[in-house]
Structure 1
Amino acid sequence: MSVDYNKPPAPIQYPPEFLALQETCKRIVNVPYCSGAVLLNASQSLLFYRSNGEARFVDFAKPDEAQLKALSGACSPASFGRNQEDVRDESYRKAGKMDTTDFSTLFSPWDSGVLKTITESLFKSEGSFANVNAELYKLNVYGPGSFFKAHVDTTRSDTMFGSLVVVLPTPHAGGSLLFMHMLDDLASVLSAHTFLSHGGLLAFELAYKYPFDHRSTRLSYFKKHLKNTDALLKRACDESGLKASLKVLYRVKQNERVAYCFLDKFHSFDDGMVRTMLTAYLSHCEKQIIVGYDVAAPPDLKIKNWRNPPAPLDMDYYAPETEILGVA
Structure 2
Amino acid sequence: MCHITQSLDFMVVQQSQEEFKMATDKLLDTCVPAPHGRNNQTVYDDSYRLAKELPQNDFSLSLDILGEAGAEVMSTILDLVSGRHHLSAEGTTDPSTLALEPRLYKLNAYSKDGFFKSHRDTPKGNGHIGTLLFGLPIPFEGGGLRIAHAGKEFTFD
TM-score, normalised relative to structure 2: 0.75
- Find the aligned partners of 1:99 and 1:105 in 2 and give their Cα distance: 13
Other-structure match for 1:128: 96
Q: Contact 2:66 / 2:104 at 8 angstroms: preserved in 1? A: no
**1:75 aligned onto 2:34:** no
1:74 maps to amino acid: T
Other-structure match for 2:7: 56
**1:164 aligned onto 2:129:** no
CA-CA distance at 1:177 after TM superposition: 0.3
Other-structure match for 1:174: 142
Given the superposition, is the C-alpha separation of residues 60 and 175 from structure 1 closer, same or farther in structure 2, using an over 3 Å criterion? farther
Structure showing greater relative contact order (alpha-carbon pairs closer than 8 Å, 6 or more residues apart): 2
Give the one of 44, 54, 65 matched to 1:88: 44
Unpaired segments ≥5 residues, structure 1: 1-48, 185-328
**Higher Rg of the two aligned structures:** 1
1:30-45 to 2 correspondence within 5 Å? none
Paired residue secondary structure (2:146): coil
Cα deviation 1:264-290 (Å, max 9, x = unaligned) = xxxxxxxxxxxxxxxxxxxxxxxxxxx
**Percentage of matched positions with identical amino acids:** 31
Given the superposition, is the C-alpha separation of residues 59 and 183 from structure 1 closer, same or farther in structure 2, using an over 3 Å criterion? closer
Given the superposition, is the C-alpha separation of residues 150 and 70 from structure 1 closer, same or farther in structure 2, using an over 3 Å criterion? same
CA-CA distance at 1:120 after TM superposition: 1.4
Unpaired segments ≥5 residues, structure 2: 15-19, 85-92, 153-157
Q: Contact 1:58 / 1:68 at 8 angstroms: preserved in 2? A: no
1:55 maps to amino acid: Q
1:175 maps to amino acid: G
CA-CA distance at 1:91 after TM superposition: 0.5
CA-CA distance at 1:56 after TM superposition: 1.9
Other-structure match for 1:65: 21
Other-structure match for 2:155: none
CA-CA distance at 1:173 after TM superposition: 2.2
2:24 maps to amino acid: L
1:73 maps to amino acid: D
1:228-239 to 2 correspondence within 5 Å? none
Paired residue secondary structure (1:98): strand
Paired residue secondary structure (1:179): strand
* Structure 1 vs Structure 2 CA RMSD: 2.1
CA-CA distance at 1:129 after TM superposition: 4.9
Paired residue secondary structure (1:104): coil
Other-structure match for 2:107: 139
TM-score, normalised relative to structure 1: 0.38
- Find the aligned partners of 1:116 and 1:84 in 2 and give their Cα distance: 33
Paired residue secondary structure (2:6): strand
- Find the aligned partners of 2:50 and 2:126 in 1 and give their Cα distance: 28
Count of matched residue pairs: 133
